[in-house]
A = this chain, B = another copy of it.
């Protein structure tokens, strides 16, 4: 019997939901941060030497520096080794992801406000991006597509991938295949905080990058936080969550399946149903009992659902939407008949799945929008990973002699008002010459 938490109605319950979600975050990160900081320092100072040492210690592989990079032959072999249906599915997914992200491209522009005054903004891709891919069972080829393709679409010149080797010094063939399909330029067998350090500072073998993206363990996350400012990073991902909004006639079997698909990721994942139909909650519970038996990760699903799952009963759809906006979930399914009618009322959510035939996995793998999303209520202000993360902007200004003259008095007045007379002088000295 699954023991599921249930709450009903009322604005104050939002606090309960937030507390539940927050309780997933560990708060004693100091020791991980310290370890990561030590690794960063060592790699910054000793380069490849330090990287090889850590690779030996943490991954159990004794590499020469020249063995850090994956060779073209390994990639070709991987592409043959991997199941061809899987390759085909990856390629179809990659095409959809590319197609969606292409719409996010921004352009440089300039405008002439009046004769002699031009202002504008230049949008350029970052030069080099580093994509981290965890090893072992957390190595998801879908995440390779989701992190690499936006960089590729942005026009990043060189994309390097960093991923830890297994005990035999190899990288999983599906990861190599996904990297090839997504368009990675170079792949290095290096993981953990040492990978983040190498990419941030550069070593003899590993080129320094401008941005590091992708999920990793706690050491990787800490290292990313610590190198932020030295390079750009994407968000620090917390445990994952889904909220499903459903109504009386929603299909309980679908909802149960989708709650479980979130729960299987991690005992810390949170799966929440919110509905104005109390009878639906009971039906979903029954479906969960039934379906969980067949799941290979049933222990994780049970732990996740019992600790961080939640059934919320509200008075009406409006109350459900209010709850959703206050929680700001990473994933939101509107498993209702008319989801597009509700969409304008959704203010805070990372990715929104509309209708009963749009389960989260179609977005996790396939439809095109990114699956790297703001977690833990940060959809209030953070955004999905996108092409925007891989570009940067410069402003520019041109004033003619005459235009400057016309603006002179205002600018001098402002500069002097702020007590910055060298600023005023820079305008005055030009005005004098006129």
Interface membership of A353, Cβ < 8 A: yes
Interface membership of A349, Cβ < 8 A: yes
Q: Given A260-B422, A339-B398, A369-B397, is A411 in contact with B297 using a C-beta cutoff of 8 Å?
A: no
Instruction: Evaluate contact between B357 and A231: CB separation under 8 angstroms.
Output: no
CA distance A317 to B353 in the complex (A): 53
Instruction: Evaluate contact between A370 and B346: CB separation under 8 angstroms.
Output: no
Q: Report chain B residues within 8 Å CB of A420.
A: 261, 264-265, 297
- Interface residue total, chain A, C-beta cutoff 8 A: 121
Closest to A404 in B: B357
Residue picked from A121, A229, A394, most chain B C-beta under 10 Å: A394
Which one of B92, B118, B374, B426 contacts A257 once the chains associate, using CB atoms below 8 Å?
B426
- In the complex, which residues 200-231 of chain A have their Cβ closer than 8 Å to any Cβ of chain B? 210-211, 229, 231
Residue picked from A90, A122, A363, A429, most chain B C-beta under 10 Å: A429
Which one of B93, B211, B429 contacts A414 once the chains associate, using CB atoms below 8 Å?
B93
Instruction: Evaluate contact between B137 and A419: CB separation under 8 angstroms.
Output: yes
Instruction: Evaluate contact between B141 and A413: CB separation under 8 angstroms.
Output: no
B-contact 0/1 string along A316-359, CB 8 Å cutoff: 00000000000000000000000110010011111111111111
Interface membership of A368, Cβ < 8 A: yes
- In the complex, which residues 77-101 of chain A have their Cβ closer than 8 Å to any Cβ of chain B? 83, 85-86, 88-90, 92-93, 96, 99-100
Q: Report chain B residues within 8 Å CB of A340.
A: 398
Instruction: Evaluate contact between A361 and B85: CB separation under 8 angstroms.
Output: no
Q: Given A398-B358, A414-B365, A430-B357, is A425 in contact with B100 using a C-beta cutoff of 8 Å?
A: no
Interface membership of A58, Cβ < 8 A: no
